Each structure stands twice: as C-alpha cells, then as structure tokens.
Chains A and B, each alone.
Chain A
Amino acid sequence: MTGWWGRVGPVKRAVAVVLGLVVGVNLLLAALDAVVGSDPGGPTGSSYATGDDGVAAWADLLRARGVTVEPLRRPLGEADLPAGGTVVVVDPADAPTPEGLAALADHLAGGGRVVAVGAAGSVYAGALLGADLGWQPKGTARPTPAGDLLAGLDDLRGDGTGSFATPGPATVEAGPAAAPVVVSTGGLLAVADPSLLHNARLADGDDAALAVVLAGSGPVAFAEAEHGYGTTRGLAAVPGPLKAAVIGLVLAALVGLWSVGQRLGPAEAVDRPLPPPRRAYVDALGAALARTPDPPTPEDTRDRSDTLAR
C-alpha cells in the first residue's frame, strides 16, 4: 500500500483522499444512525409500519388496552385465524386468493369479525359479500357515525381518500349515506378511508375510539403476509439473488486479498537456475567413460577383418 501511495500522482492522491473521506464520513454517520437514530416507516397498512401510513399504533393501542394482538405472517389461507376474534386486513399489497377468501368466510361463519380497510381491503370485502362495494378515491374527510356500532363517536377525522359508491345492502356505519365510509354486514366491516386508522390520524378526534370499536374485544390478528412479510426471518429471509450477489462479492474480495497478499510457499528465486559448473559436467562424463569397456585395438580390428575375408 505504501508503495502504491508513493507511486501515484498528487491528483490521484487528492481524489483518493476525498473519496475516502466521503465514504468514511458516511459510514460513521450510518453507524451513528444505526445506534441512536430511527426512521419510522414500513409498508402501507402494515401493523409493523410506524410511518404515517402504517397501523402499528392501532396494534399498540389495542395492546395497551389489554387486547391480544397477533401479526399473521402466513397467508390467510394457511394461517390459524383467531376463533371468535377479529382479522384486520388493511390495504393488502396482494390480491385475495380463493384459499384466503374461503378462510375468511369460514371465520365469519364461525362468529368472527373481519375488518377490511382501504381500496385493496374493499376488494376482499366485496369478494366476501359477493358484490362490489364501488370503492372510489374520494369521500368526506369528516364521516358522520350513523349506526349503532359507532354510537357515541361524533368526531371522526380522515383525509377523505375513500368511500363506497355502491354499498348495496350493507349497513352504513359512518356516512354520508350516499357515499359511506364505514359499512358493515354481519361480522364484516369495511372502511373505505384508511387514513382514519393510520398512525398519522389515530390520535385525532375519535379515530382511536373508532379503531378500538372496529377491533372488538379480541383477539385481533393483522394480516401481514399480504404485505410481503413471510415466516422466515434472519438470513433465511434474504432473497436468493441477493445471497448470490453477496457470495460473489465475498469471493471477489477473497481473490483480491489473495492477489495482493503475501504468497505462501518457498521464496521465489531472484535469478533463473544456472547449469552446474563445467567441472561437474567433466567429472560426470569421465565417470561415464570409465564405466565403458576399452575400445578395440587396431590389431583386434585387423584380425576381425581377416576372419571375415576367409
């Protein structure tokens, strides 16, 4: 490294120093952020999400009130739904599956409750009802409680980001009647405007009470597999391509270290090996000659020629 540093020019040195400072300062700040910082966030509608559009505060509020809350990390069609309890589906990223809808229908038939929230949640509600609720991305920001379920609440505050145009036979729980925001039928509750239950609004008006009423007395299960959460955690949850990329980077780093590191084994000779001294060659040749028989004398050759001539 010292040799390299000594060989490079001043411009390269300056660039290297600047890059090193940028990377170093950012690593330091990232480490500081990891230790003392926090950044609320998470998928929209997830009970893990602490950002403005998450519902983690809803889950924590229920826990604070002694309600058993469980995130479901298996798909609804495979999960064990809380018998007699409430299943909450808030703006799921995944479309409903036949297995999931069948599980929710069985849950409703067994006396349980299903709360479907938002545009994507209304798809689940419509499928369970067998009729499209006509979700639309507009509505009142101050829905008026109308049914018995929400009696006693009179200050709901949302962003007016959803309502049902065709509630059909469903009971309007929070109006206006022409475009209700909360409807119910049996154990199924549908909320068109998810902002009523988001973290950003939960402490506004009577929204917290709405959240508590919708959840019921529990236990409550929030559907999380439909937000991308799975049952695997830790390293097992890392996607395969990312694992392959990390393994490749590690291998590249190892090869790089190997190439710049000290080589193992005997030291390399500075010069090529030279032939042995001429004296050794002469000795070897002399030894070889000493092992050979004496060459024939001229008399031997003449006698042999005479013999052949006869």
Chain B
Amino acid sequence: MAEVDPGEAREQARRVLAGDRYQAEDVPRPLQGVLRWVGERIEDVSRPVADALGTPAGLVIGLGAVAVATTLLVLALVRRRTRVAEREAVTRRRARSLDPAALDREAEAAEAVGDLATAVRLRFRAGVVRLEQAGAVPARVDATTARLVGRVDVPAFAPLARAFDEVAYGGRPATPADVAAARRHWPEVLAAATAATAVTGPHPERAGDQTRREAVGSDRRFGGGVGA
C-alpha cells in the first residue's frame, strides 16, 4: 500500500522542476548557424583524416607530413626574416652614408683650428668616397691604401696616399704642406680617374656593391684602410 499522496508528490516535483537548473537560459547566439555550418564542413574534412590517422601507417604518414610542413614553414619564416633584416641593415647604412662635401667642410674646419692630421685624413676619405662614387675603385670593406694605389693609375695619387698612411698610421705629424698638397692634387686625381673610368667603364667590383661602399665610408673603426 503506497503511503504517498500522489497530488502532493506531483506538486513537489513541479516545484523541483521549476528550479533554475532545470531551465535553459539561452543567451543570443547570432552566429550559431554559421558556426555550425563551418563546423560541419570541417568535420566533413577532418573525419576522413582522423580515420586515416587511426591506422599505424596513417599515423606515420601524418606525423611525417606535419614534420615536413613545419620544416617548410620554419624555413620560409627564416628566409623572410633574413630578407627583412638585410633590408633594414641597408636602410640603416644608407642613412649613415658619408657626404664628400661634408667631409671637405669638416677638413677645412679642422685645418682652421690647426688640426692638420684630421684635415689630411678627412680630405683623403672624401677623395676616396668620390673615387668610389665615380666607379674608379671598388667599394670594399677591406680596401687598403696600397690596393687603391694599384687601382688608381694617376701619378699624383701615390704621394697623397703615402702622406695619408704616414699621418694616419705612422704617427707622423701632419704639415701644412700635406694639407696644401691634398687640396691641390685631389681635384687632379679625381678628374684623371673619372676620365679613365669613362673610357674603361666602372670597376667590375663596384656594381651592386652599394652596401659595402657605404660600410667603408661610414665605419670609423675601420683602421686598416682608407677609413682611418
């Protein structure tokens, strides 16, 4: 014999079922249909793949494909980053490229205050930059004065280079004669070298070597050659 009042139990059940946890409180899902459609399409593709990966051979092939894809992706990223870095380096160096006219002005200023050694060095550097721009000498980081003398077939250049070497590297004090010779002979050297280049064409190492030329002209740490 059931000792339960069915009506009372029913009413209690209704109160229980009226509780929040039995009621669906939906929030708006405006993209539900679209996302469901996308999910179904993804499932259409992923299910055969998952079935294939369920076998040992499929798993090995899948892992191999992932490894190859990852390798290609990494290589592509590395190449892209390298290209970007090189472009940025060129841009930085161009921003710091030397202006021969500015070097000449600095040389005159140094001469005015009696710093003849600096004047000699700056004039020589301005001259070399002009030679590079004219294509008479290659723009190389490892360019040395002796190598330049071998390249520039102008008699007045050798004394200028020797004076520069003695002042810049040999520790010989610069004299007013050195400064005067530089001012007098550099136009002559440039004119002759430019004329010779017009006949023979620019030096083969110069083509596409803008970056190295700028590096030679801009880096003050370069003490083994013309940038000292």
Partners in one complex: yes
From the candidates A29, A33, A38, A202, name the one contacting B21 in the complex (CB within 8 A).
A38
Chain B interface, DSSP helix/strand/loop, else mixed? loop
The answer to whether B13 and A203 touch across the interface, beta carbons within 8 angstroms, is yes
**Closest chain A CB from B14 CB (angstroms):** 4
User: Any chain A CB within 8 A of the CB of B224?
Assistant: yes
> How far is it, in angstroms, between the C-alpha of A22 and the C-alpha of B30 when the chains are bound?
10
Which of A39, A60, A199 has the most CB atoms of chain B within a 10 A radius of its CB? A60
Q: Mark B141-184, 1 if CB is under 8 A from A, else 0.
A: 10000000000000000000000000011110000000000000
Q: Which of chain A's residues have a CB closer than 8 A to the CB of B21?
A: 38, 40, 50, 56
User: Any chain B CB within 8 A of the CB of A151?
Assistant: yes
> How far is it, in angstroms, between the C-alpha of A127 and the C-alpha of B27 when the chains are bound?
46
From the candidates B17, B26, B28, B29, name the one contacting A203 in the complex (CB within 8 A).
B17
> How far is it, in angstroms, between the C-alpha of A203 and the C-alpha of B14 when the chains are bound?
5
Q: Which of chain B's residues have a CB closer than 8 A to the CB of A275?
A: 223-224
The answer to whether B16 and A206 touch across the interface, beta carbons within 8 angstroms, is no
Q: Mark B197-228, 1 if CB is under 8 A from A, else 0.
A: 00000000000000000010001011110001
Give the bracket for the number of chain A residues in contact with chain B. Answer: 35 or more
The answer to whether B2 and A279 touch across the interface, beta carbons within 8 angstroms, is no
From the candidates B6, B215, B228, name the one contacting A152 in the complex (CB within 8 A).
B6
Give the bracket for the number of chain B residues in contact with chain A. Answer: 35 or more
Known A-B contacts A151-B2, A203-B10, A213-B2; the reply to A57 vs B17 at CB < 8 A is yes
User: Any chain B CB within 8 A of the CB of A170?
Assistant: no
**Closest chain B CB from A193 CB (angstroms):** 17
The answer to whether B10 and A38 touch across the interface, beta carbons within 8 angstroms, is no
The answer to whether A38 and B2 touch across the interface, beta carbons within 8 angstroms, is no
Known A-B contacts A25-B31, A279-B171; the reply to A60 vs B19 at CB < 8 A is yes
Mark out the residues of chain A between 276 and 303 whose CB falls within 8 Å of any chain B CB in the assembled complex.
Answer: 276-282
User: Any chain B CB within 8 A of the CB of A65?
Assistant: yes
> How far is it, in angstroms, between the C-alpha of A282 and the C-alpha of B224 when the chains are bound?
11
User: Any chain A CB within 8 A of the CB of B1?
Assistant: yes
User: Any chain B CB within 8 A of the CB of A253?
Assistant: no
Which of B14, B35, B215 has the most CB atoms of chain A within a 10 A radius of its CB? B14
The answer to whether B221 and A274 touch across the interface, beta carbons within 8 angstroms, is yes
> How far is it, in angstroms, between the C-alpha of A207 and the C-alpha of B17 when the chains are bound?
13
**Closest chain B CB from A31 CB (angstroms):** 9
**Closest chain B CB from A83 CB (angstroms):** 22
Which of B9, B15, B19 has the most CB atoms of chain A within a 10 A radius of its CB? B9
**Closest chain A CB from B219 CB (angstroms):** 7
Q: Which of chain A's residues have a CB closer than 8 A to the CB of B222?
A: 274
**Closest chain A CB from B12 CB (angstroms):** 5
From the candidates B2, B92, B169, name the one contacting A278 in the complex (CB within 8 A).
B169
> How far is it, in angstroms, between the C-alpha of A57 and the C-alpha of B19 when the chains are bound?
10
User: Any chain B CB within 8 A of the CB of A150?
Assistant: yes
Known A-B contacts A149-B2, A279-B171; the reply to A40 vs B92 at CB < 8 A is no
User: Any chain B CB within 8 A of the CB of A236?
Assistant: no
**Closest chain B CB from A151 CB (angstroms):** 5
The answer to whether A279 and B23 touch across the interface, beta carbons within 8 angstroms, is no
> How far is it, in angstroms, between the C-alpha of A148 and the C-alpha of B10 when the chains are bound?
20
> How far is it, in angstroms, between the C-alpha of A40 and the C-alpha of B23 when the chains are bound?
7
The answer to whether B169 and A282 touch across the interface, beta carbons within 8 angstroms, is yes
User: Any chain A CB within 8 A of the CB of B20?
Assistant: yes
The answer to whether A38 and B9 touch across the interface, beta carbons within 8 angstroms, is no
User: Any chain B CB within 8 A of the CB of A264?
Assistant: no
Which of A150, A151, A208 has the most CB atoms of chain B within a 10 A radius of its CB? A208
User: Any chain B CB within 8 A of the CB of A153?
Assistant: yes
User: Any chain B CB within 8 A of the CB of A306?
Assistant: no
Q: Mark A156-188, 1 if CB is under 8 A from B, else 0.
A: 000000000000000000000000000000000
Q: Which of chain B's residues have a CB closer than 8 A to the CB of A199?
A: 17, 22
Q: Which of chain B's residues have a CB closer than 8 A to the CB of A29?
A: 27-29
Known A-B contacts A199-B22, A270-B89; the reply to A277 vs B10 at CB < 8 A is no
> How far is it, in angstroms, between the C-alpha of A271 and the C-alpha of B141 when the chains are bound?
12
**Closest chain A CB from B67 CB (angstroms):** 15
> How far is it, in angstroms, between the C-alpha of A33 and the C-alpha of B26 when the chains are bound?
7
> How far is it, in angstroms, between the C-alpha of A117 and the C-alpha of B116 when the chains are bound?
109
User: Any chain B CB within 8 A of the CB of A84?
Assistant: no
User: Any chain A CB within 8 A of the CB of B4?
Assistant: yes
Q: Which of chain A's residues have a CB closer than 8 A to the CB of B25?
A: 36-38
The contact sample of 12 A-B pairs, CB cut-off 8 A, is A26-B31, A39-B24, A40-B21, A203-B13, A206-B6, A209-B5, A212-B9, A213-B2, A213-B4, A270-B92, A276-B223, A281-B224
10 smallest beta-carbon distances between A and B, as pairs: A277-B223, A208-B13, A208-B9, A209-B6, A206-B6, A203-B13, A209-B9, A152-B2, A60-B16, A203-B14
Name 13 extra pairs, CB < 8 A, besides A57-B17, A152-B4.
Answer: A25-B31, A60-B16, A61-B9, A61-B16, A151-B1, A153-B2, A203-B17, A209-B2, A209-B5, A211-B9, A278-B228, A279-B171, A281-B224
